[in-house]
Structure 1
Amino acid sequence: MFRRLPLLLLSVTLLTCTPVAQAPDPTTAPYSRAAFGAGWADPDGDCLDTRAELLAGLSTVPVTLAPSGCSVRHGRWIAPYTGRVVTQARDLDIDHIVPLRYAWGHGAASWPSAKRARFALDPVNLLPVTASANRSKGARGPLDWLPPDQVFRCQYVLRFRRIAKAYGLVHSTAEKRDLAALTEQVCGT
């Protein structure tokens, strides 16, 4: 179990971990990354996979491709979790805002394989972030991890919640309450 982040409302209190309603039994449905598909895809056949397409689309300047034309080498990205400007594509990871392992434990274990593959490649759920921020986040959701850049925290929490809702992820009553409180804290609403 992860330690919950303290909510900084009027006083600092530590939230407790609450079991997820209807979470899959880990003995019958162990998490497998492969259950979400083979990885980055190239649906339009232009040799640029999902990662490369995302990097090219989100760069604030035209990107430089590798000699093969199939991967991005350089561009200019503002990594949202840290606010850092990054110009080398190799310094970025593509993060699933709602991590695959998190989704698995909140209902994706029972999804059809096509829905899991769609979730893994959904550009709404993908962000180029610094490798260190991605490693720091791991498979945690916003109750256990928030971006270091406080300016991005509201957007991150709102986007996480929209994606979870769109895909029908299951949260316990306590998680729903804690997510609402966190949203109020980081967004001021």
Structure 2
Amino acid sequence: MSARGVAAALLGALVMFSVVSREDTGAALQGEARVRAAPLDNPSGTRPGLAPVTSAGDRAEAVRLIRRLAVAPMGSKAGYSRARFGRNWADTATGVPYARNGCRTRDDLLARDGEKVRYRSGSDCVVVAMELRDPYTGRTIRWSRKRADEVQVDHVIPLSYEWRMGARRWSAAKRARIANDPLNLMPVEGDVNEAKGGLGPARWLPPRRKVRCAYAVRFAQVALKYDLPVTRADKAAMLAQCR
């Protein structure tokens, strides 16, 4: 093999290693459509998107999962602030996927769900442009950091909801985990995220009806993982989406 051929082979091997390494940490494969994952098949939250729950068997499993939720009345929001859940998107949580990998949590999630992802020159963390198929609306958003708020990372269970349902009594470390756990995080259209605010499923559901059961399942998965109760009305609304 010529020197040029050897160099090309080495470069190919390095590129393959880079792709595998980035995929292992949840990053998007450049120029390829990501396969959306149904929540029942994505218990770690490291696969992208929010695919509908469609089969009768999966919907029955979703109902069984939601029925396991504890219920409690909603408490006061007094004392809540975003800072109670740690510094915004800091890579300092422990015990959840992507924790302490050197990238901010927001960038990890944009890379997980984005297509045609582009990174800042000299960085394999900072996402500067991508396409996002918004799971809540079905729209495709061509995003860049110049329009940063056009895509926001939604906490499936809003942090203020968590606070009112018992997180005020948690340790700071546990609050940081739920705030940075990819199971609880979904890049979505900014306006939709702002419309949701701190509401539970009884008062807000994704505009895209076909993912409402999947959204309810994801909400339930996070609540069960962190032993967080939901309101009786929210549990009823979640069950109604999957029956």
Above 0.5 in TM-score?
yes
Q: Could you say what secondary structure the match of 2:135 adopts?
A: coil
Q: 1:53-91 CA distances to partner (integer Å, 9 max, x unpaired)?
A: 111121233x11133635212222211111111121422
Q: Could you say what secondary structure the match of 2:115 adopts?
A: coil
Matched with 2:106 is 51
Aligned length: 160
Matched with 1:154 is 213
Distance 2:209 2:182 in 1: 23
> Is 1:100 matched up with 2:159?
yes
68, 76, 80: which is aligned to 2:135?
A: 80
Distance 2:234 2:161 in 1: 15
The structure with the greater share of residues assigned to helix is 2
Distance 2:154 2:72 in 1: 25
Contact 1:95 1:128 in 2 (8 A): yes
- Shift in alpha-carbon separation, 1:137–1:24, aligned structure 2, 3 A: closer
Distance 1:24 1:34 in 2: 19
Matched with 1:3 is none
Contact 1:81 1:149 in 2 (8 A): yes
Map residues 3-22 of structure 1 onto 2, 5 A cutoff. Answer: 21=72
Distance 2:229 2:118 in 1: 41
- Shift in alpha-carbon separation, 1:25–1:86, aligned structure 2, 3 A: closer
Distance 1:183 1:53 in 2: 28
> Is 1:65 matched up with 2:119?
yes
- Shift in alpha-carbon separation, 1:37–1:179, aligned structure 2, 3 A: same
The list of structure 1 runs, each at least 4 consecutive aligned residues, that deviate by more than 6 angstroms after superposition, is none
Identify unmatched segments of 5+ residues in structure 1: 1-19
Matched with 2:172 is 113
50, 68, 80: which is aligned to 1:31?
A: 80
Once the 2 structures are TM-superposed, how far is the Cα of residue 168 of structure 1 from its aligned partner?
1.2
TM-score normalised per structure 2: 0.61
Q: Which moved more, 1:121-130 or 1:156-165?
A: 156-165
Once the 2 structures are TM-superposed, how far is the Cα of residue 104 of structure 1 from its aligned partner?
0.1
Q: Which amino acid aligns with 2:196?
A: K
Distance 1:73 1:50 in 2: 14
Matched with 2:190 is 131
- Shift in alpha-carbon separation, 1:41–1:138, aligned structure 2, 3 A: same
Q: Which amino acid aligns with 1:53?
A: D
- Shift in alpha-carbon separation, 1:129–1:140, aligned structure 2, 3 A: same
- Shift in alpha-carbon separation, 1:56–1:107, aligned structure 2, 3 A: same
Q: 1:116-162 CA distances to partner (integer Å, 9 max, x unpaired)?
A: 00010000000000000000000111111011111111111111112
C-alpha RMSD of matched pairs (Å): 2.0
Distance 2:168 2:189 in 1: 28
Contact 2:165 2:228 in 1 (8 A): yes
Q: 1:21-45 CA distances to partner (integer Å, 9 max, x unpaired)?
A: 465555xx51121110011123222
